[in-house]
Amino acid sequence: MYHKISQFCDKIDSIKTQADRLRELKYNQPKSVERDFMIDNLIQQIQADCYVVSQDKGEYGKIDEDIPGPTPTEWL
């Protein structure tokens, strides 16, 4: 694992938030071109974030807190 556990968990939380927004848009908003565009974008973002998480396969080791690393939004 190349990132801290907390960063990994933050990324998963972010994906969950996006998934909740996607569900809300799909089932609670009237159909429109704008809504469909937003749905497509959310799907692409969730897929990209899941890919990033799936590629974090390095061996886990304690990361030095003094060395700044990427934030979850900087993983891509």
DSSP class of 69: -
- The confidence score (pLDDT) of residue 62 equals 67
pTM of the predicted protein model = 0.73
3-class SS letters over 30-58: CCCHHHHHHHHHHHHHHHHHHHHHHCCCC
**pLDDT one digit per residue (tens) for the chain, 76 residues:** 566 888 889 999 999 999 999 999 999 999 999 999 999 999 999 999 999 999 888 777 766 665 566 665 665 5
Q: 58, exposed or middle or buried, with CB in 10 Å at 0-12, 13-18, 19+?
A: exposed
